[in-house]
Amino acid sequence: MKKSNFCKAFTQQEAIPDAGLDSVIEVLRSGRLHRYNTLEGETAHAALLEQEYASYTGQRYCLACTSGGYSLHIALKAAGIQPGEPVLSNAFTLAPVPGAIDNAGGKPVLVEIDRNYCIDLTHLETMMQQSGARFFMLSHMRGHIADMHAVVGLCEKYGVILIEDCAHTMGASWDGKKSGSFGKVACFSTQTYKHLNSGEGGLLTTDDDEIIARAIIFSGSYMLFERHGTLPPLNAFDEVKFDTPNYSGRMDNLRAAILRAQLPLLDTNCKHWNERYRVLQQSLAQNSKIQLPQRPKQESYVGSSLQFRVPQMDQRQVSGFIAACAARGVELKWFGSAEPQGFTSRYDSWRYIKEQQNLPKTLELLATTFDLRIPLTFTLEDMEIIGSIIDDEVTQLFD
Ligand SMILES: Cc1ncc(COP(=O)(O)O)c(C=O)c1O
């Protein structure tokens, strides 16, 4: 017998906190929306955000820019990528990641994922040996964090520079160390469905003097770089300011003001995501047909989305199951589709990558993997309803 349906939108974010609305009005009234448009003695919201986010992550430097994808692009450029160089990355990630590699002139070389949606460490080592890549853009896709000590160990062994894509791990950590502090550079997104929401936006963090100097100039600082919130010693710009192009991608003060108001709430929000995640996780765990990823004790994740697999499903059942859940108000995404849809695309649809790879393990896992967002506008009770609908529909398939 069918239980109740669900009627809330999976795309509905929480409102921007009042403090953010006040700051936004103030910025609008001032007319000084551009980050370098400041009065004598005034520090722009964009620069203050850089200070505050660097201090939150424990990194020395932060650069605020236009998007997460843009920050990945300039991270690679600042780390010294040369045209045509191979860059390792996960086969299961979002399109802006290989897009950023391509934009930086690199050649994406994809690596299999494991059953927990993390990078497959054995395949990673093989690809490090085979490709000779100097860069690894590790996407902590959907918030799943691989064994970071093992990842760093492999990067050190093969002399590979690690760039972390933390679009889904803002606020998360591995073994007590913040996600984004393992590599040379980390990139975060503040696009509307991420852990901080400014519609669009990106934050790049690093401890490296030369990388931050280059990233600042790339981001379009002109020669106003001294106005940035976190600065290396100024002599880091001596050469860099002459040999680094301006790829105009600054964050403006409106977005920065919105983000500054949300940052103090981030850790509490991460707890709220996890409460919701665990209710859904427990509900789905009761169904023996559903497989959930294991989350190691070192992984302090942020459950802003949940992935599960129903390995016994065939292709026909997959579309029927998605449609049945949708009819009851539960919006599932499926990364296994050969056709790119909505925000999702499988790696073999990135056909601009000249050397197409066959990654059977990733294909097999994605074929029966479903993914759903957990917006904070959902209550714990909502999560129970969603869990019971999914459970119900899976059970009916195999009755
Ligand atoms: C895993 C991942 N990396 C990077 C990005 C890029 O972020 P943005 O949309 O801010 O460019 C996204 C965006 O959704 C993402 O999901």
Q: How far does the centroid of ligand 1 lie from the alpha carbon of residue 68, in Å? A: 5
**Ligand 1 mutation target, pool 94, 118, 169, most atoms within 8 A of CB:** 94
Instruction: Give the closest residue (by CA) to ligand 1 atom 14.
Output: 94
C-alpha 188/C-alpha 205 separation (Å) is 8
What was the pLDDT predicted at 46? 98
Q: Measured from the CB, is residue 189 less than 6 Å from ligand 1?
A: yes
Output the CA 90–ligand 1 centroid distance in Å: 13
d(CA 159, CA 76): 15
- Helix (H, G, I), strand (E, B), or coil: what is residue 55? helix
With residue 386 as reference, give the H or E element that holds it: helix 380-397
Q: Would you state the structure tokens that stand for residue 89, as one six-digit string?
A: 């990355």
Q: Is residue 220 lining ligand 1, measured as CB closer than 6 Å?
A: no
pTM of the model: 0.98
Q: Which residue, by CA, sits nearest to atom 8 of ligand 1?
A: 68
What would the CATH number be for the domain defined by 18-264? 3.40.640.10
Q: Which amino acid is it at 81?
A: I
pLDDT in tens, 23-43: 999 999 999 999 999 999 999
Q: Which of 224, 188, 238, 158 is nearest to 65 (CA)?
A: 188
- Cα of 46 to ligand 1 centre, how many Å? 20
CB of 93 sitting under 6 A from ligand 1: yes
Asked whether 232 and 212 are in contact (CB, 8 A), the reply is yes
Q: What is the Å distance from ligand 1's center to 254 Cα?
A: 20
Residue 55 CA to ligand 1 centre (angstroms): 23
Contact assessment for residue 77 and residue 220, using Cβ atoms and an 8 Å cutoff: no
Tokens of 190: 């503040």
Q: At what angle do helices 148-158 and 121-131 cross, to 10 degrees?
A: 20
CB distance 94 to ligand 1 below 6 Å: yes
Q: From first to last of its 399 residues, what are the pLDDT tens digits of the chain?
A: 556 799 999 999 999 999 999 999 999 999 999 999 999 999 999 999 999 999 999 999 999 999 999 999 999 999 999 999 999 999 999 999 999 999 999 999 999 999 999 999 999 999 999 999 999 999 999 999 999 999 999 999 999 999 999 999 999 999 999 999 999 999 999 999 999 999 999 999 999 999 999 999 999 999 999 999 999 999 999 999 999 999 999 999 999 999 999 999 999 999 999 999 999 999 999 999 999 999 999 999 999 999 999 999 998 999 999 999 999 999 999 999 999 999 999 999 999 999 999 999 999 999 999 999 999 999 999 999 999 999 999 999 998
CATH of domain 266-397: 3.90.1150.10
- Of all atoms in ligand 1, which is nearest to the CA of residue 140? 1
Does the C-beta of 183 come closer than 6 Å to ligand 1?
Answer: no
- Closest residue to atom 7 of ligand 1, CA basis: 68
Instruction: Spell out the domain ranges in the chain.
Output: 18-264, 266-397
Same fold, 18-264 and 266-397: no
User: Cα-atom radius of gyration of the chain, to the nearest Å?
Assistant: 21
| pLDDT tens track for 212-225 | 999 999 999 999 99
- 62 Cα–ligand 1 center, Å: 18
Q: Is 141 in the pocket of ligand 1 (CB under 6 A)?
A: yes
Q: Is the distance from the beta carbon of residue 68 to the nearest atom of ligand 1 less than 6 Å?
A: yes
